[in-house]
Amino acid sequence: MVIKKFTGRTENEAVELAKKELGNGIVIMNVRIVKKKGISGWLGAKLTEVTVALEEEGDTLKSAHRETTTKTSSESVKSGEAGRMTHNTVNVMSESSQNIEKKLDSLQTLLVDRFKQQEEKQEQLNREEATEEENGKEKESAEETGEQEKFIRLLYNTMLENEVDEKYANQIIDDVEKIKKPNLPFDYILANVYQKMVLKFGRAEGIAPAEKGPRVLLFIGPTGVGKTTTIAKIASHYCMEEKKKVALLTADTYRIAAAEQLRTYANILEVPFRVLYTAEEFNSAIADFSDYDYIFVDTTGHSHRNEELMDKMKELFEAVKKYGECQIFLVLSATTKYRDLLKIASNYREITEYQLIFTKLDETATLGNLLNLRLYTDAPIAYVTCGQNVPDDIELFNPQKTVKQLLKKN
């Protein structure tokens, strides 16, 4: 795994630089504002610094082990905290959940430290090998390996408590097992699990800018998950903050008053609103709103078992996909049972590709299903919502924040 920092005037600029050097497979580990170097920095000029990670193809057991060996040794010397841990004085069972939380909060510093220490890799490797030959070291190492086991188990159990599917928790832990070795600081293990999980989530992909005509955003999903409310939240962001031209359409003609809900939001935002009764009407709406930036399309919420409605939706999907400049979002509630989520995700997958939006994060303490569904569907998570307030209770999906929650005790 390569970890590297890039700076730019904006986050986008820094990310572009990173992509140019490392390719599109990068994962953003951390974003922070830093002072510019030199006089302009003294005068308050700021830059955005992003720390990115890239999992290399050669990240096999062997290379992971080699990397661990070197990075660990440098950390244990540089960081007082890490050094303290290698002396086998820490009882893992007393690693309370609060301690883990503190460590998670210090992860960003740890990642940055590790980045700085890369140049010292070789020197530290030699030093560690010499140390391992000292008398009595084997006994200490064996004890530490036991402590490591307990620590890894603690992380594993925390994932399960957060309802990460056992299958995925095992995959993550299996990867960590590969890098296990004596003298490995717990912070390093934690950082490794954190990185693996962030990489599994991948980059958050929101809404792409419109290129050749208005960008159509279609929202699908089961009844009552928050499709209409989410449209209102995102539409008001584009309309009020980005000053874009937005139109709201609904194909939800199934329930009385369903259209009225979106019409009300359209009135508040002072944007055009239209009801679509047939797939053809979608095409005429596109023609009528051809100079708009974003067209949001709401759909009927229904059970994924309702085949008749599913078929009707297919026609609309086909028309939207034929138009091309579109993104389809499957909206799921974080409170829905795992087994149902799997069924819903696979039923919709039969008719279309999609990105994911998770709603109602405020109503659950466990976010494991975000990782489970991300891995099950291979669909990126675009947004999460955490309350009923329009437009505030929504944010772009943040993998780092979610992984921290998944590694915390509830």
Ligand X SMILES: Nc1nc2c(ncn2[C@@H]2O[C@H](COP(=O)(O)OP(=O)(O)OP(=O)(O)O)[C@@H](O)[C@H]2O)c(=O)[nH]1
**Contact assessment for residue 343 and residue 373, using Cβ atoms and an 8 Å cutoff:** no
Interior CA angle at 238 toward 235 and 244, to 5°? 120
Where b means 16+ CB within 10 Å and e means fewer, 355-371 reads bbbbbbbeeeeebbbbb
Residue 148's nearest CA partner among 131, 173, 128 is 173
Phi/psi for 28 (5° steps) reads -80, 120
Select the residue interacting with ligand X from 114, 244, 360, 404 (CB under 6 A).
360
Select the residue interacting with Mg ion from 228, 236, 336, 400 (CB under 5 A).
228
In this structure, how many other beta carbons lie within 10 angstroms of the beta carbon of residue 346? 12
**Half-sphere exposure of 111 toward its Cβ, with a 13 Å CA cutoff?**
27
Task: In angstroms, give the least distance from the CB of 305 to ligand X.
Answer: 15
301 vs 368, which CB is nearer to ligand X?
301
104 vs 331, which CB is nearer to Mg ion?
331
**Contact assessment for residue 214 and residue 295, using Cβ atoms and an 8 Å cutoff:** yes
What track of x and - describes contact with Mg ion for positions 179 through 218 (by CB under 5 A)? ----------------------------------------
The strand ranges marked E within 303-366 are: 326-333, 355-359
186 vs 265, which CB is nearer to ligand X?
265
Which of the listed partners (Mg ion, ligand X, none) does 385 bind, with a CB threshold of 5 to 8 Å by partner kind? ligand X
- Which region, judged by CB under 6 A, interacts with ligand X, from 113-121, 237-245, 355-363, 366-374? 355-363
- Which region, judged by CB under 5 A, interacts with Mg ion, from 66-74, 228-236, 276-284, 333-341? 228-236
Select the residue interacting with ligand X from 125, 387, 395, 408 (CB under 6 A).
387
Which of the listed partners (ligand X, Mg ion, none) does 86 bind, with a CB threshold of 5 to 8 Å by partner kind? none
Footprint of ligand X on residues 184-243 (CB under 6 A)? 223-229
- Check residue 362 for interaction with ligand X (CB under 6 A): yes
Q: Rounded to an integer, what distance in angstroms lies between the CA atom of residue 390 and that of residue 239?
A: 13
- Which region, judged by CB under 6 A, interacts with ligand X, from 11-19, 60-68, 99-107, 379-387? 379-387
Q: Rounded to an integer, what distance in angstroms lies between the CA atom of residue 153 and that of residue 300?
A: 44
Give the residue closest to Mg ion by C-beta. 228
Binding site for ligand X (CB under 6 A): 223-229, 252, 258, 301, 359-360, 362-363, 385-388, 393
